[in-house]
Amino acid sequence: MIRWMVVVMAALWLSGCANMRAERLTAPIATAENTVLRQAAQVAAMPPAQQQIVCTEAQTRLQDKNTNDVRLTLAAMGAAVPGCLSPGDVQGLLKPLPDSPLAAYLRAIADRQAAEREAFTQTLDKVTSLEAKLKALTRIEQQLNQVKDRELQDQGQGKAAPR
């Protein structure tokens, strides 16, 4: 879903329909950001296996050439490709970059992804806790049923025996 959001926002941003101020609409868009948006749209359209390959290649380029353009590209890949980078890694890549609409948008995506991961982790912890409680209650229920069965057997034996 995130990769489609990147594509849609990129299309809206490039078309000027993103409710931007008039001076931003008339300002030229940086060539590097155009390239990043084009690459992110291309990667978002790829099958998942190819997306991972592109992400790995982008990470290798970052190690070889740590420029703002490469950092921005890798951050876009991290936002567009599930499992490419953690939201914290994306935020780390974006931190030293100069402010730009694209960098701000990618920061917002990384923040949202981090919040979603935290909420997912908390929900998973709750599910795990509830599963443990359910297992404990099931054991208690089984033990109570065994006690009840013994009592019924004892009562049945008491009535059948002549006095």
- What are the sequence ranges of the domains in the chain? 2-119
Whole-angstrom distance, CA of residue 54 vs CA of residue 74: 10
Nearest to 41 by CA among 77, 95, 82: 77
Whole-angstrom distance, CA of residue 127 vs CA of residue 22: 49
pLDDT tier at 18, thresholds 50, 70, 90:
very low
The pLDDT of residue 24: 47
The model's pLDDT over 25-58, given as tens digits with 9 standing for 90+, comes to 434 455 778 888 888 888 888 898 898 888 888 7
Q: What is the dihedral of CA 117, 122, 123, 126, to 10 degrees?
A: 160
- Angle, alpha carbons 1-97-111 (nearest 5°): 35
Question: Which of these ranges, 13-17, 82-86, 108-112, has the smallest mean pLDDT?
Answer: 13-17
